[in-house]
Chains A and B, each alone.
Chain A
């Protein structure tokens, strides 16, 4: 099954260098284990924009967006046997944050892809 992991947090600052290094190692391991297909971090809200359709009108808002409480900091795509493996993997990732970036709070949301994998 293919999963997307979406990491959200109210923190706007960059991760500590220890956390960066640990995440890099974890990603390297997951790539070499053939589980992680893709991943990426996202730049702060100021670099983005929103295109909204509401009331029959298209509108464009440039970032940063004042109403955003939690921002997506990064994503990854995994191919895993099932949800149990996805949960185990997400917990390991979040444990790194707990250990290496005290005070950080956030969510790693995992969602299965709609089109079934092989």
Chain B
């Protein structure tokens, strides 16, 4: 086994054990950020020891024992500790008499503690970026370097983000708290937002040159499954999982051999992952059973489900999609949702109906500089045979597009509209 292999094998074990390590230590220490520090120390100890000794038979128990020793050291070192900590130290001393075994390790009911951990990592007091970094580190067991590579940022940026976030939690007295009842649903939205941010960060990377970017999608999906398992009565958790599963089902079909993106209507649907679609549909069904049909994520999942269920692009139920967009627009009042509704209306009822929606959006300040607005408008004008106006719209869109591929595509469409104008 090479050093790199050994390192990867250790991280693999680590990812399995880490949430339980943090939750157990957090419960003892009543401090999530501190628990996280100590489990990181246990990881470093494993990385130091295991390449020489081999991975122990019960790696989880080894890591747990090591982390607990560190916790004890920490408590002994700090003379300013409150009495609470003395009691904790006592309990732990007693516990150290017996080596923790696998069975007791499995006995911990991870559900409630894990929920607390997720809620702490995704606290609304923290920025979305800080929440994403903390969640990937504390719940998914990614290292700082891995998170940095995944977000295409320097290691130091992520490390600093994590340190600051943990300090904010400690200083605001949020190191260990349990949301209950109503608060769970409220706080959940701050968690779902972060999970979706992680998913999109991985999903919008068209090509996975670095395996860690697509890996973000997988981690987000896993977090989605975790949430539906430990908060099974929250429809939006199921809705987000459905949305992610259904979007991820198209991964293999989304790019051609050269890595160019393929739009949903042009994709080879045989490449869509049916197992994943089925799971997405199940999650969507569950969300609706729970009375969540009108939720933000559930509606978005419902829209993607219309695509997933159409055998060919021509079978797409556009009026249903337009209906879901109308409901979504009522929930979020976003001009971008309205623009998407226009596209669906255009497919369902024809370009004229869509154009009147788009024209109403033209003065919208939030869409100023958004290339998809003139791009959609150009497409509708072209379909209506108003080629000269279409050309102008595509030119305007091309000037706004930030991405070279999109820019080139819009210039080609402008040229095609100009040709059509000449020959008409």
Contacts and interface: CB of A to CB of B under 8 A. Distances in A.
Most A C-beta atoms less than 10 A away, residue of B13, B60, B114, B251: B13
Nearest to B60: A92
Interface in B1-49: 8-9, 11-13, 15-16, 19-20
Interface in B207-253: 214-215, 217-218, 221-226, 229-230, 248-249, 251-252
Interface string B100-114: 001100110011001
Contacts of A41: none
A16 B390 CA distance: 73
Interface in A67-107: 79, 81-82, 84-85, 87-89, 92, 95-96, 99
Contacts of B77: none
Interface string A16-48: 000000100110010111110100000000000
A50 to B, nearest CB: 25
B106 A25 contact: yes
Contacts of B276: 117-118
A88 B12 contact: yes
A47 to B, nearest CB: 25
Contacts of A84: 8-9, 11-12
Contact of A34 (B8, B9, B221, B252): B221
A88 B16 contact: yes
Contact of B102 (A81, A96, A117, A118): A96
A22 B101 CA distance: 12
A58 B38 CA distance: 62
A26 B106 CA distance: 7
Contacts of A81: 12, 15, 215, 218
A95 B229 contact: no
B294 interface: no
A114 to B, nearest CB: 11
Contacts of A25: 106-107
Contacts of B218: 79, 81, 117-118
B9 A22 contact: no
A115 interface: yes
Given A85-B16, A88-B13, A32 B222 contact: no
Q: What secondary structure prevails in chain A residues at the interface with B? A: helix
A31 B229 contact: yes
B273 interface: yes
A59 interface: no
A34 B222 contact: yes
Contact of A35 (B222, B248, B252): B222
Contacts of A35: 16, 222
A118 B217 contact: yes
Contacts of B323: none
Nearest to B202: A118
A116 interface: yes
Given A22-B103, A95-B57, A115-B273, A33 B252 contact: no
Contacts of B57: 95
A79 B12 contact: no
A58 B68 CA distance: 61
Nearest to A77: B275
Nearest to A1: B218
A51 to B, nearest CB: 24
B279 interface: yes
Given A84-B8, A85-B12, A118-B217, A33 B273 contact: no
Contacts of A26: 106
B16 A32 contact: no
A22 B11 CA distance: 24
B224 A89 contact: no
B226 A34 contact: yes
Contacts of A29: 20, 106, 110
21 contacts: A25-B106, A29-B20, A31-B225, A31-B229, A32-B230, A33-B222, A34-B226, A35-B222, A37-B225, A79-B222, A81-B12, A81-B15, A82-B12, A84-B12, A88-B13, A88-B59, A99-B102, A117-B248, A118-B218, A118-B249, A118-B251
Interface of B: 8-9, 11-13, 15-16, 19-20, 57-60, 102-103, 106-107, 110-111, 114, 214-215, 217-218, 221-226, 229-230, 248-249, 251-252, 273, 276, 279
Given A34-B223, A85-B15, 8 more contacts: A29-B20, A37-B225, A79-B222, A82-B8, A82-B12, A84-B8, A88-B13, A117-B276
The 6 closest A-B pairs by CB, nearest first: A118-B248, A34-B225, A84-B12, A34-B222, A34-B226, A85-B12
